[in-house]
Amino acid sequence: MRIRFTKMQGAGNDFVVLDETTQRLQLTPAHYRFLADRHFGVGADQILTVRPAPQPDVDFEYVIHNADGGEVEQCGNGSRCFVRFVREQGLTDKTTVRVKVHGGVITLQEMPDGQVTVDMGAPVFDLPQVPFAAAHATAVNDTTWQLALSNGDAVNVGVVSMGNPHAVQVVADVDTAPVLAQGPLIENYTAFPKRVNAGFMQVLSRNAVRLRVFERGSGETLACGTGACAAVVTGIRWGLLDPRVTVQTHGGTLTIEWHGGDTPVRMTGPATTVFQGEITIPDTL
């Protein structure tokens, strides 16, 4: 099977984008893994698929698969690339589009300066909805949980869903933080029945943080949009951050804004098309 694709990146978080607005490609998890493979496929953190609007109040449906082939609920950096893609491909002339994702509807807006702002919706703290099984962790206070990792480490995290689950901890220095050691243990920690994205946040000031994220199903990525949102939300809840924060990742800078409660989280950052091409997917997968 030969398919067309577009390679895109947002703050270094890279994607293969597929257009299924006229025809479903009927890809399997093995196909997604092949496309994401950096040696044999195109190479990507996630595969993003554009589909027709399934309901009258949205413009498109947006489906996300991680590099391991599993479908996930949300991808913030991918959302910015999504709106850039549909405009560049002539699928819409709107600068603001509403998109259905697995967990609901999000609003994406391309700004005059080329940046893209995403209304990510309100963060979810209700533990069953995250989902998070509190019986497998220790409550430190109303907003903090301690995880006893299998390597003997005990880490304090904020638990939140930004359409997908996140566990965020504060570290002294992201450069020396045990991201690769703790990341897989947190991702697969028993309290998270659907696994979790593990965030490691260094607070620079009340308006700036540095962040690394070990993403569920992809490993550490250069940036994670929902992870940036989750980190800022956690920092605000812990009294460490103001409502508007610059998040420095290895791949670039994102701006996150949240005014608390059930107000939406807004994320602004870059979205860039890298190249377009065609690839043959082997029949033997």
Which pTM value belongs to this model?
0.86
With beta carbons less than 8 A apart as the criterion, state whether 187 and 214 touch.
yes
What is the pLDDT of the chain when averaged over all its residues?
A: 96
pLDDT of residue 139: 98
Any idea which residue has 């509403």 for tokens? 98
Tens digits of residue pLDDT in 68-101:
999 988 888 899 999 999 999 999 999 999 999 9
132 pLDDT above the threshold of 80: yes
State the catalytic residues: 75, 224
d(CA 196, CA 190): 10
pLDDT of residue 72: 86
Residues paired with residue 210 on neighbouring β-strands, in sequence order: 202, 248
pLDDT of residue 183: 98
Instruction: Report the percentage of the chain scoring pLDDT > 70.
Output: 100
Tens digits of residue pLDDT in 5-47:
999 999 999 999 999 999 999 999 999 999 999 999 999 999 9
Tens digits of residue pLDDT in 101-113:
987 888 999 999 9
Give, to the nearest 10 degrees, the angle between helix 76-88 and helix 225-237: 140
pLDDT of residue 91: 97
With beta carbons less than 8 A apart as the criterion, state whether 171 and 165 touch.
no
Side-chain half-sphere exposure of 247, counting CA atoms within 13 A: 35
